[in-house]
């Protein structure tokens, strides 16, 4: 499922870490709809197979906030698991026209639009990242994370590890990952704040090669780490 959510703001200024507000709204929507579903999805051991990208109209950035052209923005939300997707859709629908308070602002869902999904039938696609791609190496002993932009040695290696963990969580055959490759075409490294950390990640255009089952999965679930925090969504171009 791919869905466009349109929000109206009380004013045209939002926090620089706007993803936190979107995540908070998603959690609120799920908990208000079904507390058991909320707990199941946000259990610490659950790998979330959804992602989103936020579309901001002509943003002007300062260190602490973003000023938008008008008091409206949209979110493209994508989910892989059909059962979860159906419940999430209904949870969002329940929040339509309900004001959700933010710090010195509020956001209200005013429209929901189902976006037709593409069926990938080739073993190579060209993609454009709609939200940044995060590649993470998590050290289980030290609990420290190292992040890899596209131009850093180890980028593809750790991206494949991130994807493998996703596949295992969905009980999908990890053999479909064997032929996977990611090739930067017109990519750029950026560094953005994610909660208390500054994280390097990648945006731009890439080629993906591999099993079409894997490519369809990544198209719906997102690619890389921290997808449920608004990273890893791409469009096929």
pLDDT in tens, 4-49: 999 999 999 999 999 999 999 999 999 999 999 899 888 766 678 8
Same domain, 109 and 139: no
Same domain, 87 and 137: no
Q: Is residue 219 part of a domain?
A: yes
Same domain, 159 and 225: yes
Q: Is residue 119 part of a domain?
A: no
Number of domains in the chain: 2
The predicted pLDDT at position 45 comes to 66
Same domain, 220 and 162: yes
**Segments forming the whole domain that contains residue 41:** 2-114
Same domain, 57 and 92: yes
Contact 191, 236 (CB under 8 A): no
CATH of the domain at 133: 3.30.70.1900
Give, for 209, the enclosing helix (H) or strand (E): strand 197-209
Considering only residues 67 and 63, tell me which one the structure prediction assigns the higher pLDDT: 67
CATH of the domain at 98: 3.30.70.1890
Same domain, 89 and 135: no
Contact 229, 213 (CB under 8 A): no
Dihedral through CA 141, CA 146, CA 148, CA 153, nearest 10?
-70
Mean pLDDT of 177-197: 94
Mean pLDDT, rounded, of the chain: 94
- Token pair for 197: 């950390």
Count helices and strands (H / E) in the chain. 5, 14
Range list of β-strands (E), 26-167: 50-55, 60-61, 65-67, 72-79, 99-102, 105-114, 124-129, 136-138, 145-147
Same domain, 167 and 202: yes
Task: Summarize pLDDT for 79-123 with one digit per residue, the tens.
Answer: 998 888 999 999 999 999 999 999 889 999 999 999 999 999 999
C-alpha gyration radius of the chain: 18
């Amino acid at each position: 499922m791919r869905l466009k959510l349109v929000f109206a703001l009380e004013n045209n200024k939002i926090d620089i870490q706007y993803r936190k507000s979107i995540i908070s709204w998603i959690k609120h929507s799920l908990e208000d709809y079904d507390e058991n579903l909320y707990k199941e999805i946000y259990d610490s051991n659950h790998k979330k197979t959804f992602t989103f990208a936020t579309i901001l109209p002509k943003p002007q950035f300062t260190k602490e906030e973003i000023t938008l052209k008008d008091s409206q923005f949209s979110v493209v939300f994508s989910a892989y698991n059909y059962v979860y997707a159906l419940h999430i859709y209904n949870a969002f629908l329940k929040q339509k026209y309900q004001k959700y308070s933010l710090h010195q602002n509020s956001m209200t869902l005013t429209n929901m639009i189902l976006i037709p999904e593409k069926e990938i039938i080739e073993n190579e696609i060209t993609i454009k990242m709609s939200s940044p791609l995060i590649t993470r190496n998590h050290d289980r002993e030290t609990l420290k994370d190292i992040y890899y932009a596209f131009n850093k040695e180890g980028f593809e290696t750790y991206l494949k590890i991130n994807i493998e963990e996703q596949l295992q969580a969905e009980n999908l055959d990890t053999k479909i990952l064997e032929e996977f490759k990611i090739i930067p075409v017109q990519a750029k490294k950026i560094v953005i704040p994610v909660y208390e950390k500054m994280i390097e990640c990648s945006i731009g255009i890439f080629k993906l090669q591999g099993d079409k089952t894997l490519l369809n999965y990544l198209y719906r679930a997102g690619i890389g780490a921290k997808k449920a925090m608004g990273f890893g969504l791409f469009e096929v171009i």
